[in-house]
Amino acid sequence: MKKVEVLAPAGNLPSLKAAVDHGADAVYFGFRNATNARNFEGLNFSESEAADGIAYAHGKGVKVNVVLNTYPQAESSEIWYQTVDMAARLKADAIILANIALLDYCHHRYPKLPIHLSVQASASNAAAINFYQRHFNCVRVILPRVLTIQEIRQLRAKTAVELEVFAFGGLCVMAEGRCFLSSYATGVSPNIEGVCSPARAVRFENQGEKLQTRLGGVLIAEYEKGEEAAYPTICKGRFVANERVSHVMEEPGSLNILEMLDEVIEAGVSSLKIEGRQRTKSYVATVTQVLRQAVDAYYADPASFRPKSKWIRILNATSEGTTHTLGTYQEEWQ
């Protein structure tokens, strides 16, 4: 059985080196333009930085995946094609794409460059995954964070495409990158903006003794004095449903699969992805190192694998709300 890959994020060159130095098998990054969904000030790579990062990773036997996970815009589509060319020129180990036009371009122009289907394509069933494999020779699919372990097992039985899953970090329970609730509240595409809650749409407002959080004018939650307030996102909002105020979709917290790492690996996945290109070098180093230790411990003795409480404590310290969730991995969605 091929050992599962630990895949780490890199928002900049120092983070890439931290990931490599702390045990990543592969890293992923985007360029400093609109072609990736984390196109923020101070993040991402120039061509020269990418060349340095790829050389550093390859020098230590680590693979590099380049992210082009947004959709070309009519007024500037040439940027996306030029970025595909740049990834190929720099000898990336794989390119992550979602748009069909870019998939077709890369497949025909660079047939030796492995294509990974981005989670932004939201391919979550065997028919969709096999379609992309058949027409564009996609060798891997990054699965949305809405599938149970049983559903992942079923996919493994119905496709030869490698399966990559999110193992730690931000949790999205909507259509990845195209959340219509966020689009409705903010008026912009999360795919193009790179976030489901653009900072300019976020408001924290004091109402007497209470604190209200809003997104695009929509009331997300109301907190009592002294209560910890989460960053306002639709899916982790606190709403009235069935005459009860609760986190209807998902409580604030970060995805962490350590408690069921053995089940995830045995479901047949090829890669465990750490979310967080927008996070710090320290975050990348910490999470990569813990996941590396956990994966190595599993393969040393699969039958008796148990996550160490120390690993959980360390990762909770980096998590949203200093807590974690297994998300839909453990849920029976109907």
Contact 253, 321 (CB under 8 A): yes
- pLDDT at position 322 is 56
Write the burial class of residue 280 (CB in 10 Å: 0-12 exposed, 13-18 middle, 19+ buried): middle
Class of domain 5-171+253-330: alpha beta
Amino acid at 92: A
Residue 204 sits at the vertex; the CA angle it makes with 199 and 284, to the nearest 5 degrees, is 50
Contact 253, 144 (CB under 8 A): no
Amino acid at 217: G
Amino acid at 102: L
Q: What is the torsional sign of CA 161, 162, 167, 168? A: negative
Q: Could you give the residue range(s) of every CATH 3.20.20.70 domain in the chain?
A: 5-171+253-330
**pLDDT tens digits in sequence order for the chain, 334 residues long:** 689 999 999 999 999 999 999 999 999 999 999 999 888 888 999 999 999 999 999 999 999 999 999 999 888 999 999 999 999 999 999 999 999 999 999 999 999 999 999 999 989 999 999 999 999 999 999 999 888 899 999 999 999 999 999 999 877 877 777 788 899 999 988 888 888 888 899 999 999 999 999 999 999 999 998 888 888 888 889 888 888 888 888 777 788 889 999 999 999 999 999 999 999 999 999 999 999 999 999 999 999 999 999 999 998 888 766 566 666 666 644 3
The pTM of the full predicted model, rounded to 2 decimals, is: 0.90
**In the Cβ-directed half-sphere of 18, how many Cα atoms lie within 13 Å?**
20
Cβ neighbours of residue 266 closer than 8 Å, sequence gap 6 or more: 302
Q: Which two tokens stand for residue 144?
A: 């949305």
Neighbours of 244 (CB within 10 A): 8
N residues, the chain: 334
Phi first, then psi, for residue 333 (nearest 5°) are -75, 135
Mapped to the 3 state alphabet, what secondary structure does the chain carry?
Answer: CCCCEEEEECCCHHHHHHHHHCCCCEEEEEECCCCCCCCCCCCCECHHHHHHHHHHHHHCCCEEEEEECCCCCCCCCHHHHHHHHHHHHCCCCEEEECCHHHHHHHHHHCCCCCEEECHHHCCCCHHHHHHHHHHHCEEEEECCCCCCHHHHHHHHHHCCCEEEEEEEECCCCCCCCCCHHHHHHHCCCHHHHCCCCCHHHEEEEEECCEEEEEECCEEEEEECCCCCCCCCCHHHCCEEECCEEECCCCCCCEEECHHHHHHHHHCCCCEEEECCCCCCHHHHHHHHHHHHHHHHHHHHCHHHCCCCHHHHHHHHHCCHHHCEECHHHHCCCC
Distance of CA 287 to the CA centre of its chain: 14
DSSP bridge partners of 166: 273
- pLDDT at position 31 is 97
Mapped to the 3 state alphabet, what secondary structure does 23-40 carry?
Answer: CCCEEEEEECCCCCCCCC
Largest CA distance in the chain: 62
